[in-house]
Amino acid sequence: MIATAKRLEGVGEYYFSKKLREIDALNKQGKNIISLGIGSPDLPPHEDVIKVLQQESAKSNVHAYQSYKGSPVLRNAFAAWYKKWYDVDLNADTEILPLIGSKEGIMHICMTYLNEGDKVLVPNPGYPTYRSAVTLAGGVCVDYNLAEKNNFYPDFDALEKTDLSAVKLMWVNYPEMPTGKKALQEIFLQIIDFGKKHDILICHDDPYSFILNDKPQSILQIDGALDIAIELNSLSKSHSMAGWRVGVLCANEQRVNEVLRFKSNMDSGMFLPVQLAAAKALSLDDSWYNSINKIYKERREHVYTLLNTLNCTYSTEQNGLFVWAKIPLAYKNAYDFSDEILYNSNVFITPGGIFGSNGDEYIRVSLCATSEKIQEAILRINNNLNKG
């Protein structure tokens, strides 16, 4: 018997991987499940981005291995994008590292900096990949609570009372997923000060700053942030390019080179036409962001109606591709609530518990479904309630 590596202990299969198989089985039974769960954008990228990919991939000289640091064209495009939208100056040659999706960046950072037993502060609730990447790298997750009473921002008084002696990294994510909490400069300032005070590397994951948000923000806007912080960003949500796998790591030169030591042993670069198309996407003006946000805003209004139908409570001050809502008190937890909706109304909504114990009383509804689909989901839920 060949046993799996110990590093897999405590790391289960990703929730959506399992749940999507169950939904597929239900669909084969004729259930026609409406999924409002996963945040995979259903809108296409800008037509000019697709055109660049088509034109460049037809050339004969673009199919070789690429630079491990990415094309200068893409690195310069990211630098210009950060300057235009965040007013952050980055050196395209030394402070930008393109990634095959920012999710791989989470793993790269953990593998680059964590030794066995190193502790990492992870948000609860938060993106599950932070926890699994830390565990796979041999680190130990230390939850810091994000609670409604604290507006889902870190409680720095509580953190200061925590034993931080072995903490090496801290994962943060604003606009926050799953809670949709907005990025605030004063919170970023506190996070950077906290990292500097305790010599903790701040890892900020920023894929949602352009979705239903009037003012995109970066933690690198804080003076001195590059001394203690790494930021990941992505085109998956902001440019509807999730399947293209284009992300970026922004950090000072030393950090970029350290992560590159690991990354260069894991892949051989990104297909050049994808990089050139991504550069085109990064050059788009605000009409692109306005167009997709107009659609997401309309969908969000329908999601509010759906949540009202379910007697959930929620804030209308959320950013990102989801709406985070508290379930009715009559239910033990969101898993039971989600399964009841799935099995009785053929609608799938993500239970908040997958993001940590502080999400047990919440659900997360994705905006990655058409308004017509969301309205159909409302009709199904209403019909089921009327049966009851």
Provide the pLDDT for residue 84. Answer: 98
CA angle 383, 313, 42 (to 5 degrees): 70
The per-residue pLDDT of the chain, averaged, comes to 94
Comparing CA positions, the residue from 242, 245, 241, 292 lying closest to residue 269 is: 245
In this structure, what is the dihedral angle of CA atoms 165, 169, 172, 178, given to the nearest 10 degrees? -100
CB atoms within 10 A of CB 64: 8
Decide: 146 and 153 in contact? Cβ < 8 Å.
yes
- Flag whether pLDDT at 253 surpasses 70: yes
Q: Report the distance separating Cα 154 and Cα 90, nearest Å.
A: 27
Q: In Å, how far are 143, 235, 239, 283, 380 from 286, measured between CA atoms?
A: 37, 15, 12, 10, 37
Q: How confident is the model at residue 9 (pLDDT cuts 50, 70, 90)?
A: confident
Residues 6+ apart with CB under 8 A from 19: 37, 348
What separation, in Å, do the N-terminal and C-terminal C-alpha atoms of the chain show? 51
Instruction: Summarize the confidence of residues 302-310 as an average pLDDT.
Output: 97
- Smallest CA-to-CA distance from 273 within 10, 50, 1 is with 50
AA letter at 304: Y
Split at pLDDT 50, 70, 90, the class of 384 is confident
Confidence of residue 12 (pLDDT cuts 50, 70, 90): low
Q: Closest by alpha carbon to 120, among 169, 166, 155, 159? A: 169
Residue 388: the pLDDT is 53
Mean pLDDT in residue range 38-52:
95
Q: What percent of the chain has pLDDT over 70?
A: 98
Residue 39 is predicted with a pLDDT of 85
Distance CA 120, CA 219 (A): 19
Average pLDDT over residues 329-357: 93
Given a cut of 70, whether residue 140 has pLDDT beyond it is yes
Going from the C-alpha of 260 to that of each of 92, 169, 219, the distances in angstroms are 15, 18, 22
Taking the CB of residue 316, how many other CB atoms lie within 10 A of it? 9
Question: Given a cut of 70, is residue 141 above it in pLDDT?
Answer: yes
Contact of 52 with 280, CB cutoff 8 Å: yes
Q: What superfamily would CATH give domain 6-44+287-387? A: Aspartate Aminotransferase, domain 1 (3.90.1150.10)
Give 23's pLDDT tier (boundaries 50, 70, 90).
Answer: confident
Which carries the bigger pLDDT value, residue 12 or residue 280?
280
CATH match for 62-285 among 3.40.640.10, 3.30.2320.50, 3.30.565.10, 3.30.460.80:
3.40.640.10
Question: Which region, left, alpha or beta, applies to residue 245 given φ > 0 means left and ψ of -120 to 50 means alpha?
Answer: left
- The total number of residues shown for the chain amounts to 388
pLDDT digits (tens, 9 = 90+) for 226-247: 999 999 999 999 999 999 999 9
The residue whose two tokens read 């080179």 is 257
Tell me the per-residue pLDDT of 261-295, one tens digit each, with 9 for 90 and over: 999 999 989 999 999 999 999 999 999 999 999 99
pLDDT in tens, 51-91: 999 999 999 999 999 999 999 999 999 999 999 999 999 99
pLDDT grade for 4, boundaries at 50, 70 and 90: confident
Minimum mean pLDDT range among 17-21, 43-47, 212-216, 356-360: 17-21
Look-up: residue for tokens 């680190």? 139
Q: Residue 130: is its pLDDT beyond 90?
A: yes
User: What percent of the chain is modeled with pLDDT above 90?
Assistant: 87
Preceding amide of 128 cis, omega within 30: no
Given a cut of 80, whether residue 189 has pLDDT beyond it is yes
* pLDDT at res. 387: 65
> Three-state SS for 142?
strand
Residue 219 scores a pLDDT above 80: yes
Rounded Cα distance, 290 and 277, in Å: 20
pLDDT for res 332: 86
Residue ranges of domains in the chain: 6-44+287-387, 62-285
- Quote the pLDDT of residue 3: 86
